[in-house]
Amino acid sequence: MTDKKDEEQQTSVPSAASAAGAAAEGEPSRLSRLTRRNDETDKLKAENARLTEESAKYLDMARRLQADFDNYRKRTQKENEDYRKYATQGLVTDLLNVADDLERALMSAKADDSLAVGVRAVRGNLMKVLEGEGLKEIPTDGQFDPNMHEAMCMTDGAEDGRIAEVYQKGYAMNGRVIRYAKVRVTRKQAASAPEPAPAVPAQQQIEQEDQQSAQTDKKE
């Protein structure tokens, strides 16, 4: 009986020792797995940060491209609108010269002449057509404006910068000046200085002083 117990004890001791050894061997492998997982997690985080940065960069590029396209679209739209507005500017300018010729002809004709009446009607219809294209006459009944008027000469007046006479009418088309009004502009006349008293000759002045002195002596 005793020998059997000793054998069982000897058998159980190596078994416990082998289990402890196996546990000791398994511990490093578990640590290595945790280490590998941490490394993989760090790599994933770094990759995620890189992708996030790239996506932000591409998003910024897309926004810039969208803004550039919007600016291009607006600029193209404005250019098209300006083209439609001023496409007939050259023709309108040429027809203005015809209207001026008709007006000069009317100025030299009699008002009740039948030909003058017809010419006046033709000119009126022509101006209506031009006004339909956006033509407007530049006002010349006030202050001189270099943005709309061209000063041909100056004349004296009560104040500066008033339009005294119109040599040629000016016109604007859809807000743009296509022909400046040629005018004469007033210039305020400077006030004349008082005339100086005439100079008295030296000899005459001496005689006057002597006369005054003699009168003073008589009084005394």
**CATH code of the domain covering residue 163:** 2.30.22.10
State the residue range of the domain holding 142.
136-190
For residue 149, which phi and psi values (nearest 5 degrees)?
Answer: -120, 150
Q: Which residue has the tokens 């004709």?
A: 109
Residue 77 or 3, more confident: 77
Is residue 99 predicted with pLDDT exceeding 60?
yes
- Tell me, what's the pLDDT at 13? 47
Q: Is residue 72 part of a domain?
A: yes
Q: Is residue 156 part of a domain?
A: yes
- Tell me, what's the pLDDT at 218? 55
Q: Is residue 184 part of a domain?
A: yes
Q: Which residue has the tokens 């492998």?
A: 29
Is residue 125 predicted with pLDDT exceeding 60?
yes
DSSP conformation class of 68: H
Rounded Cα–Cα distance for residues 160 and 154 (Å): 10
pLDDT level of residue 192 (50, 70, 90 thresholds): low
Q: Is residue 76 part of a domain?
A: yes
- pTM attached to this predicted model: 0.56
Q: Quick one: 168 and 153 in the same domain? A: yes
Is residue 60 predicted with pLDDT exceeding 50?
yes
Q: Quick one: 141 and 186 in the same domain? A: yes
Q: Quick one: 59 and 102 in the same domain? A: no
Is residue 48 predicted with pLDDT exceeding 60?
yes
Q: Quick one: 140 and 164 in the same domain? A: yes
Q: Quick one: 114 and 146 in the same domain? A: no
pLDDT level of residue 107 (50, 70, 90 thresholds): confident
- Tell me, what's the pLDDT at 132? 92
Q: Is residue 109 part of a domain?
A: yes
Q: Based on the structure, what is the number of domains in the chain? A: 3
Q: Quick one: 108 and 151 in the same domain? A: no
Neighbour-count burial for 108-141, b at 16+ CB within 10 Å, e otherwise: eeeeeeeebeebbeebeeebeebeebbbeebebe
Rounded Cα–Cα distance for residues 168 and 149 (Å): 10
DSSP notation for 12-31 = HHHHHHHHHHHHHHHHHHHH
Q: Quick one: 79 and 107 in the same domain? A: no
CA 89, 91, 97, 103 dihedral sign is negative
**Domain edge (last residue) among 27, 62, 87:** 87
Q: Is residue 218 part of a domain?
A: no
Stretch among 22-26, 31-35, 140-144 having the lowest mean pLDDT: 22-26
Q: Is residue 213 part of a domain?
A: no
DSSP conformation class of 143: B
Q: Is residue 210 part of a domain?
A: no
Q: Quick one: 140 and 185 in the same domain? A: yes
Q: Quick one: 61 and 79 in the same domain? A: yes
pLDDT level of residue 209 (50, 70, 90 thresholds): low
